Amino acid sequence: MANQKKGKQSFLLGNSPVISAWASVAGKKEAEGPLKDFFDVTETDSYFGQKTWEQAEKHMQQIALTTLLKKAGMQHKDLGLVFSGDLLNQCIGSSFTLRNTGIPHIGLYGACSTMAESLLMASMAVGGGFFDNVVALTSSHFAGSERQYRFPLGYGGQRTPTSQWTITGSGAALVCSSGKGPKITACTIGTVTDLGITDANNMGAAMAPAALSTIKAHFDDLKTSVEDYDLIITGDLGQLGKEALLTLAQKEGVPLGGKLTDCGTMVFDLQNQDVHSGGSGCGCSAITLCGFFLDHLNTGKLKRILFCGTGALLSPISTQQGLPIPGICHAVSIVGG
C-alpha cells in the first residue's frame, strides 16, 4: 500500500514503520514519581557529572542514545538519521549530543511537542523509503529551563499554582522499516493555534486548544474516533490543561470517552511532589512514552494509542513583548507490536 495524505492534516503510512527499541533517562525527582520502575537509567545528580546544566542535558541525550543502541544491538554507523530537538536556545542539547558522531541529523523545534514531532518525521523518513533506521530523540532539564525561561533558581522565585515542573529527562525511539515492536500507522500534523492566552505560567491552558484541534483533525481526517483507541495521550498539559481540554472538547462536541490521559499528570505524584499542575518540557512526553507506554504496547497491555505531543511556542521575548502563546500539537497513532 502506498502512503496517503488523508484529509487536511493527516497521512496514512503504507508500510507501518516499527518502533523496534526505546530508551528513557530520568532525573532524581522523576525517579521518585509514579513511573520510577519504568525508566532505563536514573540519576540523582542534577548535573549528570557535567559542569553545567546545559551539558547535563546533552549528556542525558547521549545516555538515551547509547542505551537505545545497546537495546537495539546497533552502533552509530547503523543509524540513517536522527531527528532531535530540545528547549535550550538554538537546541544546543541536541546538536552537541550528535557532534562528531557521524550520524546524519535533522534539527527540529517543536517545544514540548518534540517527541511526537520527531517520531512523526521519523515515520515519514522510514515510510517514504528514504532511510531504514531512524531515531527520534529529545530532552529537557528543569534547572536549565528555569533559568532560560523564568528566573535563576538561586533567586528563589515563588511558583504560581498554574505552573508546571519541567522534566529532567530524555527519551529516544528507534523507528525501523522492519522488525518487531509497536507500529506507527498514521500521523496528524498540527497547526499553530492561538486563542490569546498570555500567561506564561499557564502553558497547559495555552496548549489545550491546539491539542483539541489536532485530535479533532485526526478523527475527521482518518474517519476514526475515540472508540478506536485505548488511550488518547497528551504531552504535557498538566492537570489544569487537561481539565481545560476536557471542557473545550465537551463544548465542541468531541467525545473523548474518559480515555484522555496526560503525561504531565502521570510522571509526578501531583498530591505529594509539589509540582503544582504537573510535569512539562520535551522530556515529559518523551520519558512517559519511551519509559511507560511503548512497554505497555509491546506487552499487549495497550493495543492502540494516540500520542499527542503538545508544545507552547512562546519565547521569553515574545512574552515580554506582550504577545500571546501559540500552541501546537502533533499526533501519532501507534498500535501494539
Footprint of its own copies (CB under 8 A): 2-5, 8-9, 11, 14, 51-52, 54-55, 80-81, 85, 87-92, 95-96, 98-111, 117, 120-121, 124-125, 127-132, 189-194, 313-318, 321, 323, 326, 328
Closest approach, Cβ 54 to its own copies, in A, equals 6
- Among residues 81 and 233, whose Cβ is nearest to its own copies? 81
Closest approach, Cβ 237 to its own copies, in A, equals 18
Within 10 A of 255 (CB to CB), how many other CB atoms are there? 12
- Among residues 19 and 187, whose Cβ is nearest to its own copies? 187
Beta pairing, strands 169-176 & 133-140? antiparallel
> Which set of grid coordinates corresponds to residue 161?
499554582
Q: Is 259 helix (H, G, I), strand (E, B) or coil?
A: coil
Burial class (CB in 10 A: 0-12, 13-18, 19+), 4: exposed
Closest approach, Cβ 325 to its own copies, in A, equals 10
Closest approach, Cβ 192 to its own copies, in A, equals 4
Closest approach, Cβ 69 to its own copies, in A, equals 16
Provide the CA 162 distance to its chain's centre, in angstroms.
Answer: 20
- Among residues 147 and 303, whose Cβ is nearest to its own copies? 147
- Among residues 42 and 95, whose Cβ is nearest to its own copies? 95
DSSP string, 296-324: HHHTTS--EEEEEEEEE---HHHHHTT--
Alpha-carbon span 261 to 265, nearest angstrom: 8
CA distances from 229 to 74, 148, 201 (A): 32, 37, 31
Closest approach, Cβ 230 to its own copies, in A, equals 26
Beta pairing, strands 18-26 & 169-176? antiparallel
- Among residues 272 and 317, whose Cβ is nearest to its own copies? 317
- Among residues 291 and 311, whose Cβ is nearest to its own copies? 311
